[in-house]
Amino acid sequence: MENKFIPVCEPYLNGNELRYVTDAVITTWISSSGKYISRFEKAFASYLGVNHGIAVTNGTSALHLALVALGIGKGDEIIIPDFTMIASAFAIAYTGAIPVFVDSEKETWNVDTKLIESKISKKTKAIMPVHIWGHPVYMELIRSLAKKYNLKIIEDAAEAHGAEYQGVKCGNLGDIAAFSFFANKVATTGEGGMVVTNDDEIADKCRYYKNLCFPLNGTRNYQHNDIGFNYRMSNIHAAIGLAQVEKLDFYVQQRRKIHNLYLKYLRDIPGLIFQPEKEWAKNVYWMNGVIVDKDKFGINRDYLMQKLREKGIDSRLFFAGMHKQLSLIKFGCDISDDYPVSEYLEKNGMYLPSGSNLTEEQIKYISETIIRLQK
């Protein structure tokens, strides 16, 4: 066990992936036409309980496409958590709109919805909740603010396949949502993404803009009335995606099981704080994030990460806040506010190996190593 490196996440491809990909190759449907695209889109949409899925190249392009389909552009403002992955903000910047940052809750690590209203201006067009590490955002206040100020809700559900808010799956909580299928996600296509929505018109806009604004119907006369994007997913990627969605319940179960195993071994260790699961939520624990409270744990986060690496255990830092990103400052984002929770998370948070194929033996080894380092 000592010598085998444990990565932070490995894809788990234990269903029909090879069979479907082989079929795509043998039949030579390797580009963005082919049966696996629509089968994957339908299967994932049906899993979430939404009307439409539009497969794209990655989660970042899914977010961008969702914003474009809602008509977001220059002069608009979109509210996002300060503590998120940079793609949430970049996708907004691609449209010319400005991301506006809101601090997070210390408990769930998600956006603090109580702080959103003070950031709404005449330019605000949408709120983008991000379900961090697979824990759904508390949507009640976001929904009432969206209603009060006539704002759209764009879920960044990149990390939240199968997560639920009050029994409803993430991706089905606003006007439109974006998922990532990067290799470390609960379901993967290697690289890939999907936009999902219940709105027929918005779905058609996504299909239109995703394919260079070729008309959805009628002859292809190479006249393009709008500026579009090539965000088409290949049939090969969709073949992997379909196989993954067929087993998505299993992968979610695995992620939850792994989290419970970490709790089993580490719950009583003072100074290690895991992400909770609120009573209204189903957390899929995409990653097992942990806050290291140096005063109670004895050693700090950076030292723990370094020592784990020496023992062959991979881990990752938490995100750095959006208000600290030079790219976004140069872009014109307002960073005059304070973001104490986001800074606390960045300074003390790390995530442990979390892939769906981890064994109890590995988790026990990781946990025992952590406990030994503390002593």
Ligand X SMILES: Cc1ncc(COP(=O)(O)O)c(C=O)c1O
Residues known to be catalytic: 185
Q: Which of residues 333-352 bind ligand X (CB under 6 A)?
A: none
Which CB, 20 or 319, lies closer to ligand X? 319
Q: Which helix (H) or strand (E) holds 52?
A: strand 52-56
CB 130, min distance to ligand X, A: 5
CB 328, min distance to ligand X, A: 15
Q: Is 85 among the residues that bind ligand X (CB under 6 A)?
A: yes
Using the rule CB under 6 A, give the single segment among 81-89, 137-145, 163-171, 267-275 that binds ligand X.
81-89
Using the rule CB under 6 A, give the single segment among 83-91, 141-149, 168-176, 221-229 that binds ligand X.
83-91
Contact between 102 and 322 under an 8 Å Cβ cutoff? The reply is no
Tell me how far apart the alpha carbons of residues 60 and 343 are, in angstroms, rounded to a whole number: 24
CB 203, min distance to ligand X, A: 20
CB 315, min distance to ligand X, A: 16
Q: Which of 54, 65, 67, 87 binds ligand X (CB under 6 A)?
A: 87
**x-marked contacts with ligand X along 134-173 as a string, rule CB under 6 A:** ----------------------x-xx--------------
CB 157, min distance to ligand X, A: 8
What pairing do the DSSP bridges indicate for beta strands 193-197 and 168-169? unpaired
Tell me how far apart the alpha carbons of residues 64 and 72 are, in angstroms, rounded to a whole number: 9
Tell me how far apart the alpha carbons of residues 272 and 301 are, in angstroms, rounded to a whole number: 10
Q: Is 180 among the residues that bind ligand X (CB under 6 A)?
A: yes
Tell me how far apart the alpha carbons of residues 149 and 126 are, in angstroms, rounded to a whole number: 9
What Rg value do the Cα atoms of the chain yield, rounded? 21
**x-marked contacts with ligand X along 31-60 as a string, rule CB under 6 A:** ---------------------------xxx
Which CB, 182 or 365, lies closer to ligand X? 182
- Give the residue ranges of DSSP H helices in the chain: 17-26, 35-48, 59-69, 86-95, 140-149, 200-210, 235-246, 248-266, 294-297, 301-310, 326-331, 340-348, 360-374
Which CB, 137 or 304, lies closer to ligand X? 137
- Which residue number is nearest to ligand X in terms of Cβ? 59
Q: Is 124 among the residues that bind ligand X (CB under 6 A)?
A: no
Give the bridge partners for 317, in sequence order: 350
Number of other CB atoms surrounding residue 234 within 10 Å:
23
Tell me how far apart the alpha carbons of residues 330 and 265 are, in angstroms, rounded to a whole number: 45
Which CB, 88 or 348, lies closer to ligand X? 88
Q: Which of 13, 69, 79, 130 binds ligand X (CB under 6 A)?
A: 130
Q: Which of 182, 285, 318, 339 binds ligand X (CB under 6 A)?
A: 182
95-121: b (≥16 Cβ within 10 Å) or e: bebbbbbbbbbeebbbbbbebbeebbe
Binding site for ligand X (CB under 6 A): 58-60, 84-85, 87-88, 130, 156, 158-159, 180, 182, 193
